[in-house]
Structure 1
Amino acid sequence: MYDVSDPRAALAPAAAAPKVATEFAAADYAKFYETAPQEDDASGRTWYARGQNYVVAYSEAEAGAVFTRESQVDEYALIVPEPTTKVEISANGETKIVDGYSVAFIPPGNSTIKVLTKGRIVRLITSRATDLTAKCSNADSFAAPHPNIPPFEPWPTPRDGYRIRSYSLDVKQQGGRFGRIFRCTTFMINYLDVRNGPRDVTKLSPHHHDDFEQCSLALEGAYIHDIRWPWTTNMNNWRDDDHEYCGSPSIAVIPPPAIHTSRAVGEGVNQLVDIFSPPRMDFSAKPGWVLNADDYPLPAKA
């Protein structure tokens, strides 16, 4: 259910009726601002939390910090939220300087991210990286797979092969387009438009996803995530509503098919980033929504 002013109101409905869910997972919240980091050393401070298919590694990095992946099995993503932060990425013999306020995708194999100027970085890595899943503050929530999410399948490789790719987030708003969306083989990142002040509660967007999880990363401001689970014939599976306050930085992991909407409540700048793993098809099917669509083909079933 979307307000008529919301670009998502034009999304096509599902082609077929989904399987009716009968059991549900809880939402997960990781409030980095009120918990100790899993890593605190000369490189800076890093917090880890996860969803079913991915790990979010949020770092307040010092200049000169190096983050390494060895024999990484699949492509991963990097968000550099602040214009003043610059990084150097090396992977498979290629090196690239990436300016701040960017999204980058890094190939499988061996890679390093060197932080050239102090600042925040966010790495998004699939849960195939078991060395990272063990570090997550909410690891126990995923001791068993959550219901209603199919097995993870990456999307097709880039048309011209894997390489370091980066994209500026300095993209003007455009009527009819929702946020600033980029995708790779493993992730879709929607860097939502900045919201100044609280959201108009007469124009919320309660909706659900049948079979994929949403991660909402709050980088600035504060949000309340309103979440409601369906009722089934088995009352033992009913869940109370969530109305969870999350300052920043934080993540909310929203399981399918819970109805959800997020309300900016901060008086200043509120910045939310929605993350999906693998990418979602409905956004990919909208012409012009995925800003780097030419670099990554759609699955054959599309």
Structure 2
Amino acid sequence: MTYTKDDPRSALSAKAPPRTGEAIAAPEFHDFSITAPATVTEAGSRQWIVRGQNFVLIHTRPEPGDTIFSAELASEQVLLLIDHTSSVHGSGSGEEHTVTGPALVVVPPGASEIVSTGTGTIVQLIQSDETEWAQRAANADRYAEPHPRVAPLEPWPEPVGGYRWRTYLMADVPEDPQRFGRLFRTRAFMVGFFKPGDGPRDPRRLSPHTHDDFEQCSLVVAGTYIHHIQTPWGPDATAWRPEDHARVGSPSVAIIPPPTVHTSQAIGSGVNHLIDIFAGPRHDFSAQPGWVLNADEYPAPGN
């Protein structure tokens, strides 16, 4: 890992060496700003669907008043309301729930309905064992066989007090330079809901690093980025890949496989905003005191 001294991640412990002898998946880049949506509802809401090994991501540009989701799930889902124009009215499990972003909302298992009450982006995160949704993903064929280097999802303990609608407003999170961004977790997900940045990232202060056995999903919701990704060389030279320096707009998704070396660089002159998604929660981030903002509601294994 290569972090500057003032990066909170510099306190993380060194990782175990990656496994060898197993194929390394290729990175994926899905730029929704230049691709057609998978679905356009009768009211005109546009939806893009992609997946990773353990998750399905639905990105919706809604029309106000449109029902963007109505289904029954066996597990929780996460809603990301990206900014103050993102708002929803949700119902399910005997509850009614209205919230305006920026926010992270956890929806309990069971039947639920989500109506957009604004025009801003709404992102849904669903476990990939919800087969119907995994099959709808534009890249479903890339996961016809599990990627051998990605650990299967093992949900963490159930939330304290049981399942219910939960909202975490970004406006309630104070700044703390000792903490790495704004991290939240559920049984199946960890989300780094970082604050938007202004202008390009200093190219002398990037943070190339690797993950041993989990994917990273980097969701760009504003601005322009370059995802720098390097696939390690193994003994089989026919499997070597050139480096990726993929320039993407917004909205877009990069799926970064282990154990590639990677870092993302904002290059836009205006607002740049990236959100990191992991399925399941990260043990290393969870071990840092105070980093996970809802740890009291979603305990780590063994706690």
TM over 0.5: yes
- Cα distance in 2 for partners of 1:292, 1:152 equals 20
- Match of 1:180, as an amino acid? R
- Cα distance in 1 for partners of 2:83, 2:195 equals 15
Give the structure 2 partner of residue 164 of structure 1: 165
Give the structure 2 partner of residue 102 of structure 1: 103
- Cα distance in 2 for partners of 1:59, 1:126 equals 17
Deviation at 1:118, TM superposition (A): 2.4
Give the structure 1 partner of residue 36 of structure 2: 36
Give the structure 1 partner of residue 144 of structure 2: 143
Deviation at 1:108, TM superposition (A): 0.9
Contact 2:226–2:245 (8 Å) recurs in 1: yes
Give the structure 2 partner of residue 185 of structure 1: 187
Contact 1:21–1:257 (8 Å) recurs in 2: no
Structure 2: segments with no counterpart, 5+ residues:
none
Task: State yes or no: 1:19 paired with 2:19.
Answer: yes
| CA pair 210-120 structure 1, distance change in 2 beyond 3 A | same
- Which of 156, 173, 176 is matched with 1:174 structurally? 176
- Which of 185, 199, 209 is matched with 2:211 structurally? 209
Deviation at 1:79, TM superposition (A): 0.4
Task: Return the TM-score normalized by structure 1.
Answer: 0.95
- Cα distance in 1 for partners of 2:69, 2:129 equals 16
Task: Return the TM-score normalized by structure 2.
Answer: 0.95
Contact 1:187–1:276 (8 Å) recurs in 2: yes
How many residue pairs match? The answer is 300
Contact 1:48–1:136 (8 Å) recurs in 2: yes
Contact 1:30–1:137 (8 Å) recurs in 2: no
- Cα distance in 2 for partners of 1:87, 1:69 equals 13
- Cα distance in 2 for partners of 1:117, 1:23 equals 43
| CA pair 230-270 structure 1, distance change in 2 beyond 3 A | same
Give the structure 1 partner of residue 232 of structure 2: 230
- Cα distance in 2 for partners of 1:21, 1:152 equals 22
Give the structure 2 partner of residue 297 of structure 1: 299
Contact 1:43–1:66 (8 Å) recurs in 2: no
Q: Mean Cα displacement is larger for which, 191-200 or 103-112?
A: 191-200
- Cα distance in 2 for partners of 1:13, 1:36 equals 41
Contact 2:18–2:259 (8 Å) recurs in 1: no
Q: Mean Cα displacement is larger for which, 81-90 or 2-11?
A: 81-90
Deviation at 1:130, TM superposition (A): 1.8
- Match of 2:76, as an amino acid? E
Give the structure 1 partner of residue 220 of structure 2: 218
- Match of 1:179, as an amino acid? G
Name the SS of the counterpart of 1:261 in structure 2: strand
Give the structure 2 partner of residue 278 of structure 1: 280
Give the structure 2 partner of residue 50 of structure 1: 51
Deviation at 1:236, TM superposition (A): 2.1
Q: Percent identity?
A: 46
Q: Over aligned residue pairs, what C-alpha RMSD do you find?
A: 1.4
Contact 2:62–2:68 (8 Å) recurs in 1: no
Name the SS of the counterpart of 1:140 in structure 2: helix
Name the SS of the counterpart of 1:271 in structure 2: strand
Structure 1: segments with no counterpart, 5+ residues:
none
- Match of 1:278, as an amino acid? G
